[in-house]
Amino acid sequence: MDSYYPTERAAKALVDWNEKLGRTDAHLIQMGMAWPAANLDLSVVSIKKMDHGHSAKAMFPSTDGHRQEAVFTVVGVLNQHALPPVHGVAPHRVKFSSQHATVVGFDNDYFQKANENLEEVAWAMYCAFGQGSVDPWRPAEADQYGRGLTSSCRYFTIGDNIPAGLKTPFHPKTDPRGVLAAQLSDKVSHCFDNDVMYMALKDDKYIEKDPATFKSGDIVEMGFAFVAWRKGKHSVGPEYSCKLVLRTLTFIDGKYTKPDEQLLQEAFFAKNAALTRARPSQMLDATVADMNPVAKRKLKEQIDSDDEEETSTAKRMHLLTISAPSPPSTTDQSQYGDQVSNPGPLATRIHANDDIRHLSNRVQ
């Protein structure tokens, strides 16, 4: 997003979509797959330790009486993102290779309430492990669009003896060229926990969407889990780290992705007015600044070439600019004989012309 983004209209649309998708009869809520973080009933959230204490997740009660991973949702504007497909993975970065998305809510009431409820979940996670054991999750600092929420999900699970039932192939839209699949090995797997669902809401139905088609400025619904992992062997500091794990990203509305035409026109007229008032040199500087890199480089080469030619011409003219020679001494008779004691105007001009021809030959 940039300064031409229609912030006011998008902010109003966010409120409308929050009201619509926050209803208890919304599709994902009815399916028990997700719950809006802004309307969260904290009493149903519990923390479950997993993997022999190596990790923990926030959980919801499921319809069969068991507990399932809690997926929280927020509606916001997609600000920054790194989504599939990927064009390459460095071998030493396989473990950390991930997809991520950041959404902002312009600090509307729904987004602020979602942040407050997530802080409560973070506190429950903190209490589950004991004081000082967890590096707690904190909301991102506010910027020009207000506070943001970032969630990410790694493409791979690293480890030996991962059960085959936990593994799953990459979705064709996630890895169309097989770049990620080429990294799989006995110690590198792609599991269900590494999967992200990319969808679009159309006519109140969720359909698949190519992750490559998401754009900054789109209104989206981001779903994420709240997870704590053991950091590893550390002699000091918290033993666990909390993060939001991306589970779903749903396209809601893309009409605000295009720049605001009125803002573009105002910027255009303001720039033209400034150029009109500017001196010619300033106008040239502004024109050069707007050029593409190739045109700018060619213009610079032309200017440098003209400067070199002017400098070379000036040097030649300097050599040709001489003064009339001084009359020789009356005592010096070796070259001019007796007549040099009183040289006339004609003799002076002859000697000057000889010198000019001599210098011209040197220049040529």
Please give the structure tokens belonging to residue 127. 């209490």
Residue 162 lies in a domain: yes
Same domain flag for 54 and 195: yes
Residue 261 lies in a domain: no
Residue 205 lies in a domain: yes
Please give the structure tokens belonging to residue 333. 């008779």
**pLDDT of 10-30, one tens digit each?**
999 999 999 988 876 665 666
**pLDDT of 223-270, one tens digit each?**
999 999 988 665 566 788 999 999 999 999 998 886 555 555 555 556
154/98 Cα distance (integer angstroms) = 4
Same domain flag for 213 and 355: no
pTM of the model: 0.70
> What share of the chain has pLDDT > 70, as a percent?
65
Residue 200 lies in a domain: yes
Same domain flag for 197 and 327: no
347/339 Cα distance (integer angstroms) = 10
Same domain flag for 66 and 196: yes
Same domain flag for 240 and 348: no
What number is the average pLDDT over the span 106-122?
A: 95
Residue 104 lies in a domain: yes
Same domain flag for 100 and 220: yes
Select from 203, 238, 253 the last residue of a domain.
Answer: 253
Select from 253, 288, 314 the last residue of a domain.
Answer: 253
Q: Map residue 57 onto helix, strand or coil.
A: strand
Bridge-partner residues for 50, per DSSP?
A: 55
With a cut of 50, say whether residue 336 has pLDDT above it.
no
Bridge-partner residues for 346, per DSSP?
A: none
Residue 270 lies in a domain: no
What number is the average pLDDT over the span 31-49?
A: 88
Same domain flag for 86 and 176: yes
Same domain flag for 234 and 331: no
Select from 231, 253, 275 the last residue of a domain.
Answer: 253
127/38 Cα distance (integer angstroms) = 22
Same domain flag for 95 and 223: yes
Phi, psi of 209 (to 5 degrees): -140, 140
What number is the average pLDDT over the span 80-85?
A: 95
Residue 290 lies in a domain: no
Same domain flag for 242 and 339: no
User: Which domain range does residue 155 map to?
Assistant: 7-253
Q: How many domains does the chain have?
A: 2
Same domain flag for 226 and 347: no
**pLDDT of 129-188, one tens digit each?**
877 788 888 888 778 888 899 999 999 999 988 999 999 999 999 999 999 999 999 999
pLDDT of residue 303: 60
Least trusted range by pLDDT, from 77-86, 140-149, 285-294, 339-348: 339-348
176/194 Cα distance (integer angstroms) = 17
Residue 86 lies in a domain: yes
Same domain flag for 326 and 249: no
Are 125 and 134 contacting, i.e. CB atoms less than 8 angstroms apart?
yes
